[in-house]
Amino acid sequence: MMRQNQSNQKNFIQICVIALSIIGLLTCIAVLFPQVRHAILEFVEQSRNKKIFEYHAWFNAFISYAIGGICFILFIDYCMLTNSGRSLVRKVDCEIRDCLSEIDFRSLIKPTVIMFGIYLLGILTIIRANYLYMDDIGRAVEGYRIWYPWSRYVAEVATIFMHADTNLTDISPLTQLLAVLILSISSVLLVYLLGNKKITTIRLLASMPLGLSPYFLECVSFKFDAPYMAFSILICIVPFLFINRKKAFVFCSIVSLLLMCMTYQAASGVYGMIVLALGFQYWNSRAKLTKEIFSFMGIAVFAFCAAMLIFRFFLMKHPDADIDTSGSIHPVSQIVSGTLNRIMAYATVINQDFGITWKIGIALVCILFIAKSIQVSAHKKISSFLVSTVVIGLSFIASYGVYSLLQIDTFPPRMMYGFGVFLAIVCIYVVSDYKKMAIVAVLALHWCLFVFAFSYGNALADQERYAKFRIGILLHDLSSLYPEKIEDHIQIQLENSIDHAPSIKNISKHYPIIERLIHRRLGADFYWDYMYYLTHFNFIPAEPVNGLATDFKQSDLPVVLDSYYHTIQSDGSRILVVLKH
């Protein structure tokens, strides 16, 4: 009787799967027709009562989504309706359960609390600064999400739950505290994996660059984006908890890497760096045979490539031309030279960003990595020297992730936080059962990073006070010249920008990256600052004009006000504000 009930239940589930698959396949096939895609987008526009942002990009993206949906449905049918598929699912499920049962999660709580306290202390001045960082301005003022142009669907959906609404409001520091918690878990898991499941205080401290590198400090500065940027690191570490079970490792790697791509792609190098670190440890200590190491690395490469291809062809949405981003890979004829140029430019930017103290500390840590590798190696010294040097070089290249393959000309700090993870991995290895001199060197470097985090947060507050002072004077003068709100918008164009506050100029003498982390307010062509000084301060009648599209300087407008901080030229409807440094 029980077997009959189980058989009936199994048949019912199969019928439901088949029915849903047919509906799903018919829907995906229908979406491939242009008329259906137009109808869907028009329906959404009518229901929202406004035009869809990036209409044509969405129209084209639906093709990839439909093809991806067909492939996904067929894969689910294989797993649910065939004996081999069901067997595969059972094996993966069993392996995942076995791996999780081997982890003592209670032992991870105390280290997580310790790292939470360290990271929270490190970003305390950033939280206190209460600085609207770049597109935080637009999200706070207008409440929009719009992560989908960059295919960050996880951030797009998670934000709705985080803010308990489709319309965003500024709920900081809650988002930044969540980011700190995620970073803390990431540090603990990284130490757990690289330290052979042994977590010590020194190793935890060595992992600090993961969250307190100057590059990730920009990520924490974003009030709305911070938790998702932190999550992109964590999700790349998780698959290695299943490293001893091949099927579970491949499955979790692909899923995790897809989640990373749909959250923040700058973490794409984290997975590769951990693969290199673990593979090197296995080789250097002879913990595994060379064949087993290559097998592990081959499986990891397969999972990474599979995830990147799935994302690229089925999930990635190509933005419109006016969006400042690109997913284009170098042409085949230039892929080697283009990639090498990108890596060289990446190294050059890091060299320009870091002060001499940091450079000495990083160089010393890398030398200690090689020295320790030689000392503890089960291989010949020359072999260990060569392999450890190659691992350092490859890990540095991997820290930039897939961006080294793309045609992108800019290097914003938030795209370079893989370098902080690179430092964390090297430092964890160096302090593990090695000389006290190595521990002192690592902690000295981390103290410099910790001090800079405080300086950066205080500098944000200084820049905010100075910018508000300058903006207040400007809006006072504009409101005196145009005291009444009129229906026809006044067009405003800016020339120059509000310079950095004196404290930032002082910090930049030793930490040049500070000038890249803290943007000059009211940049002439920076949309967020137009929104900041117009909408955020409720100066509604004005309409900003992009300086590249229309140049009021050529119109020789009469000077209506000249002060210590700015000159205002206007003919009554057009205004040119020349900011003075």
Residue 324: the pLDDT is: 43
Q: Do residues 198 and 281 make contact, with C-beta atoms less than 8 angstroms apart?
A: no
- Does position 358 have pLDDT exceeding 90, yes or no? yes
Clarify whether residues 485 and 419 are in a common domain.
no
- Does position 323 have pLDDT exceeding 50, yes or no? no
Beta bridge partners of residue 492, listed in sequence order: 544, 575
Clarify whether residues 21 and 138 are in a common domain.
no
Which regions of 410-529 does DSSP assign to beta strands (E)? 490-495
Min mean pLDDT across 229-233, 426-430, 485-489 is at 485-489
Residue 405: the pLDDT is: 87
Greater model confidence, 500 or 408: 500
Clarify whether residues 426 and 470 are in a common domain.
no
Nearest Cα neighbor of 135 from 123, 144, 124, 126 is 144
Q: What is the DSSP string of 168-223?
A: ----TTHHHHHHHHHHHHHHHHHHHHHTTT---HHHHHHTTHHHHSHHHHHHHH-T
Instruction: Rank 41-45, 53-57, 324-328, 382-386 by mean pLDDT and report only the highest.
Output: 382-386
Measured in whole angstroms, the distance separating CA 280 from the mean position of its chain's CA atoms is 27
Share of the chain above pLDDT 70, in %: 91
**Dmax (CA) of the chain:** 95
Tell me whether residue 192 is in a domain. yes
What confidence category does residue 295 fall into, taking pLDDT thresholds of 50, 70 and 90? very high
pLDDT, mean of residues 287-296: 92
Q: Do residues 327 and 318 make contact, with C-beta atoms less than 8 angstroms apart?
A: yes
Tell me whether residue 95 is in a domain. no
Clarify whether residues 400 and 466 are in a common domain.
no
Nearest Cα neighbor of 464 from 533, 395, 404 is 533
Report the alpha-carbon distance of residue 43 to residue 26 in Å, rounded.
19
Clarify whether residues 65 and 189 are in a common domain.
no
Query: How does pLDDT run across 422-449, given as a tens digit for each residue?
Result: 999 999 999 988 788 889 999 999 999 9
Tell me whether residue 308 is in a domain. yes
Tell me whether residue 348 is in a domain. yes
Residue 34: the pLDDT is: 87
Count: domains in the chain: 3
Residue 526: the pLDDT is: 59
pLDDT, mean of residues 362-380: 93
Residue 322: the pLDDT is: 44
Clarify whether residues 382 and 487 are in a common domain.
no
Clarify whether residues 61 and 207 are in a common domain.
no
Beta bridge partners of residue 293, listed in sequence order: none
Residue 436: the pLDDT is: 84
In one-letter notation, the amino acid at residue 435 is K
Residue 484: the pLDDT is: 73
Tell me whether residue 447 is in a domain. no
pLDDT, mean of residues 351-372: 94
Share of the chain above pLDDT 90, in %: 58
Residue 422: the pLDDT is: 97
Tell me whether residue 452 is in a domain. no
Query: How does pLDDT run across 444-483, given as a tens digit for each residue?
Result: 999 999 999 999 999 999 999 998 898 889 888 888 888 7
Clarify whether residues 70 and 119 are in a common domain.
no
Tell me whether residue 454 is in a domain. no
Residue 527: the pLDDT is: 63
Tell me whether residue 409 is in a domain. yes
Domain that holds residue 505: 460-579
Clarify whether residues 179 and 212 are in a common domain.
yes
Query: How does pLDDT run across 502-558, given as a tens digit for each residue?
Result: 999 999 988 999 999 998 877 655 566 666 767 777 776 555 555 445 677 777 889
Clarify whether residues 411 and 294 are in a common domain.
yes
pLDDT, mean of residues 120-133: 94
What mean pLDDT value characterizes the chain?
88
Residue 321: the pLDDT is: 44
Q: Running DSSP on this structure, what letter comes out for residue 289? A: -
Q: Domain boundary at 395, 418, 434, which?
A: 434
Residue 53: the pLDDT is: 65
Clarify whether residues 123 and 8 are in a common domain.
no
Q: What is the DSSP string of 221-232?
A: H-TTTHHHHHHH
Residue 325: the pLDDT is: 45
Residue 492: the pLDDT is: 79
Clarify whether residues 416 and 492 are in a common domain.
no
Query: How does pLDDT run across 70-83, given as a tens digit for each residue?
Result: 999 999 999 888 88
Q: Do residues 377 and 284 make contact, with C-beta atoms less than 8 angstroms apart?
A: yes
pLDDT, mean of residues 395-401: 95
